[in-house]
Structure 1
Amino acid sequence: MSRLKLFSLDAGAEFAGRVAAALGEPLAAHEERDFVDGEHKMRPLDDVEGADVYLVQSLDTDGHSSVDDKLVRTLFFINTLKDAGAARVTAVIPYLCYGRKDRRTKLHDPLSSRYLANLFEAVGTDAVVTLDVHNQAAFENAFRCRTLHLPAQPLFVEFAAERLKGDKNPLVVASPDVGGVKRAEAFRKALAERLKREAGSAFAEKYRSAGELSGGALVGEVRDATVLIVDDLIAGGGTICRAAEALEKGGARRIFALAGHGQFCGDALDRLARLPLEAIAVTNSLPQQRREGLEVVDCAPLLAEAIRRLHDSGPAAQLSL
C-alpha cells in the first residue's frame, strides 16, 4: 500500500496517541470546529491523497460528547477523507456502539448493529477493526466491507497468569450469563494451556426484561476455587454483581472480573466495590479513572499491530483467532 496516515478525533486523541507510539507513526494533523448552532466541521490538515488512512476512535458517551455525536463526527470525517482522495480508509473503533442490539427480541425491534454497518458503508469505509464485540458472528454478518475482530482474550490470559502465580486453589472460568458461555469457554481453554493446569467452567443464570435483571442460579462447582468471571462489557454492573454474589454463595475463595470494555455507567464502580471481587480488569478501549481494585490492561499495542499488518497486507486475520 501507499503511505500510512493515522488520525484521531479530538475526543479519542489520548488513546490514539498510545496506538501511534506503539506503531511508531505520528498522529496526522486535523482541524475540528464547533459552531454556535451545534453543527461542526472537520478536515485533515495533512495530505491524504493516495494514502492508506486509519481513523482511531471509540464510540461511547463521555462527559463531553454523546455516543451519537461521536458517531456522526466519525462518519463525516471518514467521508471527508475519502473526498480528499484517500486510497483506503479503515475505521479502528476499539469500542463499537450499538453492538448489543443484534437481534429482535420483541415485535418491530430494531437491528441497530446492522443499521450501524449500513452507515459506515454508506460513507465509503473500506474496513472496520474493533475489539471484543458482544457477538462476533453478528458483527461480521452485519458488515459487507472487510472487518477484523480483535479478541482481548490474549491480554487477559497474560493478566491472569501474572495474578495467579502461586495460586493453588482449583481454577474456574465463569460466564455471568448463558449468552457468554462460548466466550468464557474459549478463555478457559487458552488459560488452561497457558498455565498448564486444569480449569473448570461455570455460569450464572440471568434473565432481562424491560431493563430489569432476574435469576442468579449458579451452574458449576466453585467451592474453594479461584474464579475468573469473563465478559465483553461492564455497563451498569448488574450482571457482574449477580454473578459475583452467586459465586460467593457457592463458596468461591477468590473472584476476579475481566471485561473487554468498562463503561461503568452511573454508580457502577461503587456497586462493584462492595462485591467480594479481588480485582476488576478492563482494557483502556474506553477512558478509565484510577480506582482501587480496578486494573487497566493496555490494548493499544494490539490495535497498533492490527494496523501494521493491514497496511503491510497481512497476515492480519490471525489476530482474530
Structure 2
Amino acid sequence: MQDSDLALFALHASGDFGAAVARHLGTGLMPHEERSFVDGEHKARPLANVRGRDVFVLHSLYADDAQSVDDKLCRLLFFIGALKDASAASVTAIVPYLGYARKDQKSKPRDPVTTRYVAALFEAVGTDRVVTLDVHNLAAFQNAFRCRTEHLQANGLFVAHFAPLVGQREVVVVSPDAGGLKRAERFRTRLAKALGRPVAAAFAEKHRSEDVLTGDLMVGPVAGRCAIIIDDLIGSGSTIARTAGMCRSQGATAVYAAASHGLFVGEAAQLLADEALDRLVVTDSVPPFRLAGTATLGKLDVLPVSGLFAEAIHRMHAGESLVQLLEQGSAE
C-alpha cells in the first residue's frame, strides 16, 4: 500500500494506534515535534516536507491521565494548521473517537450545540476532511461539518465476533433506548445474514434527566434468548448495566454488550462487573485504561480498528470506494 504522496502522522497521545495503522498501510509514521512550554502552551510541527502531499493526521479525542479532551483537540487543530501552512495538498483528520459529538442538540434552553462549534474549529484551520467511527448521531455529525466527512462503522467487526460466539442459540439484539433503534437494526440485519437465520429485536425504555435514568419497559422477545445489547458508547456504564439487568429479569439466557467506544468513567468498572452481564466488547478507539486492575477487565474483549482505518485511508488516497469497505465489514 505504500505511496510516496501519502503522509501519515499521529500525535504522541495516539502514537500506538497510529503505529498500528501505519503497519497495515506498509509505511511508517512521519516525524513531527510536539513541545510544551512552562506556561502551559504548546506547539506541534511536521519535521518532514509535506508540500503537495496527501496528509492524514491521526488523533483520538478522549481524556486520559495526561491530557484533557480540550488539550488534545487544540493540539490536533494547531498541527493541522501547521500542515496547511507548510503547503500540504490536503489534510484529513482521522479521529477514531470524536469528543463533543454527543452534544449535538439543545436539550435545555440556551444550551450549546458543541458538535457544530467543534466542526467550525476544524474548518477554521483548513481541514479538508474528517473521518471518525460510530458517532452518537450520524445526521447531526454530517450536518455540523461543511468540510467533507467520512463515517466508519464497527458493525462488521462486531458481527464477526458474535456470530461464532452465539452459535446455534436463539438471539435477540437489544437497543438500550429508543434512540438507538436504527443502530441496533443495522447490526441485527448483518448478524442475521451472517448466521443465516432470523434474529429478533428488542429495546428498553430509557429516560434521562440530570444523569438519572428511569423507565422499566422492555419491548421485544427476550425470554429464552441470548441478548446482545448494542450501543455507540459506554460512559458511566449505567445504561448498559441497567439494560443487562432488564434482559436478565425478562429471562435472557445470556447477556452480551457491545459498544464502539469504551470511556468507562466514574463507577463504570463496578457497575459492569455485575453478574447480569456475561461479556463486554469494545473497539480500541479508546484504550480501556480506566479498567486496569478491575473485575470488569476480565470480561472485556477489545477489537482493533487499526485495519479498518488503514483500509479507509488507502481507499481515500487512491480514490476508491468507501461504500464497498463498509459493506464488506472489517478490514483484514
Range of TM-score over shorter length: over 0.9
Counterpart of 1:145 in structure 2 is 147
Name stretches of at least 5 consecutive residues in structure 2 with no aligned partner: 328-332
> What amino acid sits opposite 1:159 in the alignment?
H
5 Å-filtered alignment, 1:28-67, equals 28-67=30-69
Name stretches of at least 5 consecutive residues in structure 1 with no aligned partner: none
1:109 aligns with 2:111: yes
Render the CA deviation track for 1:157-196: whole Å, top value 9, x for unaligned. Answer: 000012123x33x210000011001100111011000110
- Measure, in 1, the Cα distance between the counterparts of 2:33 and 2:43: 8
- Measure, in 2, the Cα distance between the counterparts of 1:73 and 1:226: 44
Counterpart of 2:243 in structure 1 is 243
**SS of alignment partner, residue 292 of structure 1:** helix
- Measure, in 2, the Cα distance between the counterparts of 1:44 and 1:223: 57
5 Å-filtered alignment, 1:228-307, equals 228-289=228-289, 291-307=297-313
- Measure, in 1, the Cα distance between the counterparts of 2:288 and 2:29: 22
Do the aligned partners of residues 237 and 252 (structure 1) sit closer, same or farther apart at CA in structure 2, a change above 3 Å counting?
Answer: same
Q: 2:102, 2:136 within 8 Å by CA — same for their partners in 1? A: yes
Do the aligned partners of residues 295 and 189 (structure 1) sit closer, same or farther apart at CA in structure 2, a change above 3 Å counting?
Answer: same
Q: 1:174, 1:184 within 8 Å by CA — same for their partners in 2? A: yes
Q: 2:241, 2:274 within 8 Å by CA — same for their partners in 1? A: no
Instruction: Give 1:320 deviation, angstroms.
Output: 4.6
**SS of alignment partner, residue 314 of structure 1:** coil
Counterpart of 1:74 in structure 2 is 76
Identity score, percent: 52
Taking only aligned residues, the RMSD between alpha carbons, in angstroms, comes to 1.2
> TM-score scaled by structure 2?
0.94
1:129 aligns with 2:120: no
Q: Which of 318, 322, 325 does residue 312 from structure 1 map onto?
A: 318
Instruction: Give 1:39 deviation, angstroms.
Output: 0.4
- Measure, in 2, the Cα distance between the counterparts of 1:312 and 1:32: 30
**SS of alignment partner, residue 179 of structure 1:** helix
**SS of alignment partner, residue 142 of structure 2:** helix
Count of residue pairs brought into register by the alignment: 319
Q: 1:125, 1:145 within 8 Å by CA — same for their partners in 2? A: yes
Q: Which runs of 4+ in 1 moved over 6 A?
A: none
> TM-score scaled by structure 1?
0.97
Instruction: Give 1:216 deviation, angstroms.
Output: 2.7
- Measure, in 2, the Cα distance between the counterparts of 1:80 and 1:86: 9
Render the CA deviation track for 1:66-107: whole Å, top value 9, x for unaligned. Answer: 000000000000000000110000000000011111111211
Instruction: Give 1:318 deviation, angstroms.
Output: 3.5
- Measure, in 1, the Cα distance between the counterparts of 2:12 and 2:63: 14
- Measure, in 2, the Cα distance between the counterparts of 1:109 and 1:320: 34
Counterpart of 1:163 in structure 2 is 165
- Measure, in 2, the Cα distance between the counterparts of 1:162 and 1:5: 38
Instruction: Give 1:2 deviation, angstroms.
Output: 6.9
Q: 1:226, 1:255 within 8 Å by CA — same for their partners in 2? A: yes
> What amino acid sits opposite 1:297 in the alignment?
L
Instruction: Give 1:267 deviation, angstroms.
Output: 2.4
**SS of alignment partner, residue 298 of structure 2:** coil
**267-276 or 256-265, larger mean C-alpha shift:** 267-276
Q: 2:241, 2:277 within 8 Å by CA — same for their partners in 1? A: no
**SS of alignment partner, residue 190 of structure 2:** helix
Q: 1:131, 1:150 within 8 Å by CA — same for their partners in 2? A: yes
Do the aligned partners of residues 320 and 110 (structure 1) sit closer, same or farther apart at CA in structure 2, a change above 3 Å counting?
Answer: farther
Q: 1:2, 1:52 within 8 Å by CA — same for their partners in 2? A: no
Render the CA deviation track for 1:82-136: whole Å, top value 9, x for unaligned. Answer: 0011000000000001111111121111111111111101100000000010011
Q: 1:7, 1:54 within 8 Å by CA — same for their partners in 2? A: yes
Structure possessing the higher relative contact order (Cα contacts under 8 Å, 6 or more residues apart): 1
Instruction: Give 1:319 deviation, angstroms.
Output: 3.5
